[in-house]
Structure 1
Amino acid sequence: MVRTAYEHLKKWKERKTRRPLILRGPRQVGKTWLLREFGEKEYECSVYINFEENTQIASLFSGPPSVDRIITGLGLCAGHSIDPASTLLIFDEIQAVPQALSCLKTFSKDAPEFHILCASSGLDAALRAGAAFPAEWVEVFDLHPMSFFEFLLAAGKESYVTMLRERRYDLTPSYRQDYIRFLKYYCFVGGMPEAVAAFSERRDFSAAREAQRRILTVYEQGFSKSAPAEALPRIRMLWNSIPRQLDRDNRKFIFGAMKEGARARDFETALAWLTDNGLVRDIHRASLPESPLEASEDVRAFKLFLPDVGLLGCLLGLRQDTLLDDNAVFWAYHGALTEQYVLQQLDSLNQMVVCYWVAERGTAEVEFLVDNCMDAIPVEIAVEQNLQSKKLKVFREKFHPKQSIRTSLSDYRREPGLLNLPLWALETL
């Protein structure tokens, strides 16, 4: 596997002002593999501690923080002394020991020579529960499912990625059908590393689907293991409703569609637990499409997505033979898979604020708005070759954005104030 986050870790290692880094993301997204792979290739030695499995190690972090005591204990655990110049310390699921989380400040202040990488699948949940978090003394980086480019690399299509990264849009029209074919594969397989690996070995869609089912089982078992008991029924109800709601033309998540009379406040704890653990992605409506988008987010109107397009397809029961039916997969379930795909690629760019826009009377809608710290840029999903959609036209006439983006199956083209970016090239955004 090739993960672009690996390059981020290399830059982190080279920084003189390096601080402990926490790799945040849902379970099964590849955090542990990436950190162990990085330790094996970039360091002479690495010490790996899983705080959920190694309960004895928690005692090292109790009481007043002491770098000497912790390093001595880790050396005893590893069976050798720890040289800060050549050893990587990997703390997996660090949120399981809140004292270890707070000790990162001590390492950052008093012992910056140590290289510490952490992984967490429930960091936000731990913070909501009251764990102390030394925000100014650590770095947090989000790891998402594998992007479409990473999927192409896993499938042995390096030249296809190179063409797009080098912006060779004079060449890509000759390969458009190949890009579309692999994009359809990605909409079925998704970006969870286990599913991608199962597919890549022998182009086995059934193996990918079995991997997706295993991942979903891990998620659903996690509800019972770590979710608040009183919120468990609502967590399951909310989780099960997301695919059905995405398979509709809803302009926001409708609580009443789950259960007659259901109200938002009844599901606050359930929704918070799912989002804090990275199992649900919430996108809010922006009442005013201006930068910064956070300032105009409507907390009452939002859409919910899953972490991965492949998992969504699994829950929706997407059949393999749909991939043979021209471009039907992009239209399936009211375009839910395509919308999930686009959001997933936007998220893979990291640290980008994403919202959506709906006119006050619901007469027009733009699927996504992205904030580049200067402007709110509309991103419309058109899919078909006919690019005469009125959705983006209404938005442009009303707000006059400097730049607008339409993503579709059509080739790259640029007009004044409007860029048509192929769906398979979204990572060049």
Structure 2
Amino acid sequence: MKRHILSNLKEWKNSPNRKPLILLGARQVGKTYILKQFGREEFDNMVYVNCHNNPFVESLFVDFDIDRILYQIELQYEQRITVGKTLLFFDEIQEVKNGIPSLKYFCENKRDLHVVVAGSLLGISLREEESFPVGKVDNLRMYPMTFDEFLIANGRDMLADCLKALDKEMLAPHHETLVEYLRQYYFVGGMPEAVLTWIETHDPSATRKVQQSILSTYNRDFGKHTKTEAERIRMVWNSIPAQLAKENKKFVFGVVKKGARAAEFEKAIQWLVDAGLIYKICRISKPEEPLQFYVDAMCYKVFMMDVGLLACMCGARSKVMLLGMDVFSEFKGAFTENYVMSQIKALEICDGMDNNIFYYSKDSSPLEVDFIVQGRDRVIPVEVKAEHNVRSKSLSTFINQEFSSYALKGLRCSMLPFATQDWMENIPLYATEAYFNEEGLGASE
């Protein structure tokens, strides 16, 4: 299946300043698949070293003599490692002691060799006793498949190209088709195995089983902590559907456990964020650049990394998800807000790109703007509308009254086609990724 990150891997390959590359992401988002595809398409040969339960690798990093390490790999895999022609790929690098620190020495002593590693954020966050090679590696982040990639996986490449170009005139006749695919995406989500199962079978039960298996894998990873901390991580994780079902989606510790205090669960929340399983966005006090200056770190919202896993976690019935329009407003619009968040977040693939998304609210009033996004040239207040009633009262108050001197133009993501007014424009939900890529959040392809 085609993934947009392949173009970023090609840019890394051709960069004269490249360092060993770490492709990070939560488990099962497709890191191994895309790096193997990259190796096949872009190099004369690829040497693939799987570090999981591999006795050979256990003895490989006894020291950081890179020439010895490379020679041992050549002998083991019966392949020559040639600078400029070979991709050396260490998979599950976090599974082996000294694997991650060794990248510093590849950078210093074999900079011209193309070295990539895949590691789950879960695993790397568990190796706290090892030093991370800061400044000696390049990083890319990989996320679940976006709606655009879901279209391509379904064989709708031309429709995806049209969407990416935001060709409103050409898209207009295909509005209902795109809504139907979006409905499917809400159920399937973007985990590659779930997408592949859906495409091959169109069987909701088979797709849901894949999602349940992925969730079980994450649950087992929680158990790698102490009993107390693992239980707290599970409690936070399991509370997310209920957090999103609230009218005000600000994270409330009382939903995790009655009488809970922030100090009990903040470490668990941060671990889930670091693992890439949840996204956390903070409230800001005003929409002034740089937005990070106006963060209220005590107030935040939390989202799942994948809308399909969210549907699975909360037990949403396939009939409700796949038939009719109820899915878009079900669960107080939580699926739709989570969907929009995941599409914007997936554009943050490089270091330094993860301070773009916030939200706004006031304790003294019900005024709330779902997302405040810092684009390349402007601040974008975003209101997400899942129901047919799309009156944007909060967005209008925010732009035309609360911060009228800021000359902001708002964005409404809804089920309606493209439209624009002086103070606000509307885009259909299926155009979220394309719109924010155009606004400068994503790397150009």
TM range (shorter): over 0.9
1:80 positional shift: 2.5
Provide the C-alpha distance between the structure 2 equivalents of 1:159 and 1:142, rounded to a whole number of angstroms. 26
User: Which one of the candidate residues 381, 392, 416 is aligned to 2:384?
Assistant: 381
Q: Which runs of structure 2 are paired with 1:217-256 in the superposition (5 Å)? A: 217-224=216-223, 226-256=224-254
Q: Deviations over 1:13-64 (max 9, x none)?
A: 111222111111100111111111211222221112233322541433233x
Unaligned runs of 5+ in 1: none
SS at match of 2:80: coil
| Letter of the structure 2 residue corresponding to residue 186 of structure 1 | Y
Amino acid at match of 1:265: A
Is 1:101 aligned to 2:89, yes or no?
no
Corresponding residue for residue 415 of structure 2: 409
Distance 1:332 1:416 in 2: 31
Deviation at 1:321, TM superposition (A): 1.4
TM-superposed CA distance for 1:128, in Å, is 7.8
Contact 1:408 1:422 in 2 (8 A): yes
Provide the aligned C-alpha RMSD in A: 2.0
Q: TM-score, normalised by structure 1?
A: 0.94
* CA-CA distance at 1:376 after TM superposition: 2.7
Give me the whole-angstrom Cα distance separating, in 2, the residues matched to 1:318 and 1:247. Answer: 13
Letter of the aligned partner of 2:142 in structure 1? Answer: L
Between stretches 156-165 and 303-312, larger displacement belongs to 156-165
Which residue type is aligned with residue 218 of structure 1?
A: T
Q: Tell me, in whole angstroms, the C-alpha distance in 1 between the residues paired with 2:360 and 2:165.
A: 32
SS at match of 1:210: helix
CA contact (8 A) 2:21 2:140 kept: yes
Give the 3 Å change call, closer, same or farther, for CA 97–403 of structure 1 in structure 2.
farther
- Over 3 Å counting, the alpha-carbon distance change for 1:424 and 1:157 in structure 2 is same
Sequence identity, in percent? 39
8 Å contact kept, 1:227–1:273:
no
Paired positions, count: 427
Change (3 A) 1:72 1:360: same
Q: What letter is aligned with 2:2?
A: V
Once the 2 structures are TM-superposed, how far is the Cα of residue 108 of structure 1 from its aligned partner?
Answer: 1.9
Aligned counterpart, 1:145: 144
CA distance in 2, matches of 1:250, 1:124: 33
Where does residue 180 of structure 1 map in the other structure?
Answer: 179
Q: How does 1:266-277 map to 2 (within 5 A)?
A: 266-277=264-275
Closer, same or farther in 2 for the Cα pair 1:289/1:52, shift >3 Å?
farther
Tell me the distance in 1 between the aligned counterparts of 2:123 and 2:288: 27
- 1:291 touches 1:374 (CA, 8 Å); kept in 2? no
Q: Deviations over 1:172-201 (max 9, x none)?
A: 121111111110000000000000000011
Q: Specify the SS of the correspondent of 1:291.
A: coil
C-alpha displacement of 1:373: 5.0
Q: Which moved more, 1:238-247 or 1:324-333?
A: 324-333
Higher mean displacement: 410-419 or 343-352: 410-419
Against the structure 1 CA distance between its residues 373 and 137, is the aligned structure 2 distance closer, same or farther, given a 3 Å change threshold?
farther
The whole-number CA distance in structure 2 between the counterparts of 1:89 and 1:362 is 56
- One-letter amino acid matched to 2:44: E
Question: 1:268 Cα deviation (Å)?
Answer: 2.5
Deviates more, 1:226-235 or 1:204-213: 226-235
The 10-residue stretch of structure 1 (108-117 or 380-389) with the greater mean CA deviation from structure 2 = 380-389
The superposition leaves residues 376-398 of structure 1 with CA deviations (integer Å, 9 ceiling, x where unpaired) of: 32111123455422011121122
Q: In the alignment, does 2:374 pair up with 1:371?
A: yes
Cα-to-partner distance string for 1:78-111 (whole Å, 9 max, x where unaligned): 1223112211111222233462222222222321
Deviation (angstroms), 1:301? 1.1
Partner of 1:122: 121
Instruction: Look up the SS of the partner of 2:100 in the other structure.
Output: helix
Residues in 2 aligned to 1:361 and 1:231: alpha-carbon distance in whole angstroms: 35
Specify whether residues 283 and 181 from structure 1 end up closer, same or farther in structure 2 by C-alpha distance, changes over 3 A only.
Answer: same
Q: Alpha carbons of 1:387 and 1:320: their partners in 2 closer, same or farther (altered >3 Å)? A: same
CA distance, structure 2, for counterparts of residue 183 and residue 169 of structure 1:
17
Distance 1:130 1:377 in 2: 41
